[in-house]
Amino acid sequence: MLPPEIPLFPLPNLVLFPNVFLPLHIFEPRYRAMVSDALKSERIIGMAMLQPGWEADYLGRPRIYQIGCAGLMTHVDPLEGGRYNIILRGLEKFRILGEVEPADRPYRRARIEGIEETISDATRDLLRQGRSRLEELLSTDIPGLGSKAISDEDLVNALAQYLDLEPVEKQALLERDGLPARCHSLIDLLEMKVISARHPVSASHSH
């Protein structure tokens, strides 16, 4: 269960998914302070993606998507100058209820509610079917995809995070309501990419 208030780490192109690992290099002073503070408490950081147009206000409070994923710092390597290399493991999706004005801290914090993605028997059946289709679409690209060592739900989340998709596509996958919906959307995305690769749109020429 997530704490009711967590620090936010907004980035323009990274999306974290539950139970997937994400390595990060922390160098900005405000986020070095965030990591230092998190190490003294629950070691939890909320990853939230910046919305388009963030460049104009990056050092302020640019708009962020309201659905993110909290991560637990499982490995922290302090570096010279106060920087860190950290590894986050995705814990759970969350919805931002409102941001908290930090009285004396340089980074953003938010009140959140966790969004649990439960697995039922019906869900497991749908995920098993989806996994088969994902293996068909990706078997030539990802060695070991058919290995049963990774659960169906973890496979869907890992593919959503690690595949070469646009950040907004990954954000949309995170926001899907449950794992079967995420799996179905991932299949749709990959099928469209396969079709596009087979039938590239030829450039138009003016005469």
- Residues 174, 188: Cα–Cα separation, whole Å: 15
pLDDT confidence of residue 15: 96
> Could you give all domains of the chain from N- to C-terminal order, each with its CATH number?
5-115 (2.30.130.40), 121-198 (no CATH)
Cα separation values, 126 from 25, 32, 48, 123, 190, Å: 37, 42, 28, 5, 18
Return the pLDDT at 112. Answer: 98
pTM as predicted = 0.89
* pLDDT (tens place) for every residue of the chain, 207 residues total: 899 999 999 999 999 999 999 999 999 999 999 999 999 999 999 999 999 887 777 767 889 999 999 999 999 999 999 999 999 999 999 999 999 986 688 999 999 999 999 989 988 999 999 999 998 888 756 655 656 678 999 999 999 999 999 999 999 999 999 999 999 999 999 999 878 777 665 444 444
Query: In the prediction, which pLDDT does 143 show?
Result: 57
